[in-house]
């Protein structure tokens, strides 16, 4: 039986790779350069699932994904939350006192500012955390360090000089999982439904469009807006609601949403992560 595959954006050892290995232990991970390629891998049947980060409680939303939501054909089938633990990685024959430069993604560097300042290191932006680990491993310069995952230290044969160096220990990233087919969810289970829509150009359209969820006792856990054209005149809205789409209350709320919107797309529904509890 052929082993299933899950695609992610980044190099081997990225936090997305770590999330794949944690939540889909029996899957082979497939690294991709971009979010578009990550999604295309599933479209082209080169992978069974795609795992994408969508928001971090410190850095905020992952903006690159929103343009993909407009045209994506895949369905969201799961959500997962991963605590991000940043580690200072150095070459195995190096010591912290030798290090002068630290490479990592801009978000990782910003999330570890206190220790970077404490150790008097010069931060240097890199494309991603795993890429930074790969870079210092190849350079073998003992003045260089990287901030990355423990998985990256194993893959690129580096030593963890300091563990959990993030300023805020409550550093969590939310990931969504995409599939070619929507999975069924027991209507009795706590369910999240993700919707993208465009409101009509009328006064209070957004307020009225969302009013149906309030009237039907449905909680919104996420509301984001983003531009869909270059002249800043048209917005799309992305919402997560705590409701199964087959309930009467959701059906009623959706009818009101349709009344004040000209385009609606249900991206998927999935069992709420236990992290929400």
pLDDT tens, per residue, the chain with 277 residues: 789 999 999 999 999 999 999 999 999 999 999 999 999 999 999 999 999 999 999 888 887 777 788 889 999 999 999 999 999 999 999 999 999 999 999 999 999 999 999 999 999 999 999 999 999 999 999 999 999 999 999 999 999 999 999 999 999 999 999 999 999 999 999 999 999 999 988 889 999 999 999 999 999 999 998 876 665 566 789 999 999 999 999 999 999 999 999 999 999 999 999 999 8
What is the CATH T-level fold of the domain 87-162, as seen in this structure?
D-Maltodextrin-Binding Protein; domain 2 (3.40.190)
| Helices (H) then strands (E): counts for the chain | 9, 15
Q: What are the residues whose beta carbons fall under 8 Å from the beta carbon of 199, sequence distance 6 or more?
A: 205, 206, 209, 235, 237, 260, 261, 262
* Domain 191-276, CATH: 3.30.70.260
Among candidates 148, 145, 142, 143, which has minimal Cα distance to 130?
148
Domain boundaries, the chain: 5-84+171-179, 87-162, 191-276
CA distance 102 to 125: 9
Q: What is the pTM of this model?
A: 0.93
**E-only strand ranges, the chain:** 5-9, 28-32, 49-56, 60-61, 75-83, 87-90, 101-104, 122-125, 144-148, 159-162, 172-179, 191-199, 220-227, 235-242, 261-271
Q: What long-range pairs does 151-156 form, CB within 8 A, spacing at least 24?
A: 151/13, 151/17, 151/18, 151/21, 152/13, 152/14, 152/89, 153/87, 153/89, 154/13, 155/12, 155/13, 155/130, 156/13, 156/89, 156/130
Residue for token digits 């994904």? 65
Burial of 115 (0-12, 13-18, 19+ CB in 10 A): middle
Shared fold status for 5-84+171-179 and 191-276: no
- Domain 5-84+171-179, second-level architecture: 3-Layer(aba) Sandwich (3.40)
CA distance 211 to 218: 10
């Amino acid at each position: 039986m052929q082993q299933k595959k899950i695609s992610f954006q980044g190099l081997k050892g990225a936090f997305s790779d770590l999330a794949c290995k944690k939540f889909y232990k029996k899957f082979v991970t497939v690294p991709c350069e971009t979010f578009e390629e990550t999604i295309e891998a599933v479209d082209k049947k080169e992978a069974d699932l795609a795992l994408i980060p969508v928001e971090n409680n410190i850095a905020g939303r992952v903006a690159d994904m929103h343009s993909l939501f407009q045209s994506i054909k895949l369905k969201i089938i799961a959500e997962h939350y991963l605590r991000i633990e940043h580690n200072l990685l150095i070459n195995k024959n190096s010591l912290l006192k030798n290090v002068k430069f630290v490479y990592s993604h801009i978000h990782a560097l910003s999330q570890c500012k206190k220790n970077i300042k404490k150790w008097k290191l010069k931060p240097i932006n890199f494309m991603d955390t795993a890429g930074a680990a790969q870079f210092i491993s190849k350079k073998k310069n003992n003045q260089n360090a990287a901030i990355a995952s423990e998985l990256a230290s194993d893959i690129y044969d580096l030593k963890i000089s300091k563990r959990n160096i993030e300023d805020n220990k409550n550093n969590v990233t939310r990931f969504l999982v995409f599939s070619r087919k929507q999975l069924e969810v027991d209507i009795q289970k706590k369910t999240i439904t993700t919707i993208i829509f465009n409101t009509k150009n009328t006064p209070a359209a957004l307020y009225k469009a969302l009013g149906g969820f309030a009237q039907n006792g449905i909680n919104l856990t996420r509301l984001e807006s983003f531009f869909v054209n270059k002249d800043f005149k048209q917005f799309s809205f992305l919402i997560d609601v705590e409701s199964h789409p087959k309930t009467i209350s959701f059906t009623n709320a959706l009818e009101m949403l349709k009344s004040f919107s000209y385009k609606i797309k249900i991206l998927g529904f999935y069992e709420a992560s236990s992290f929400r509890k």
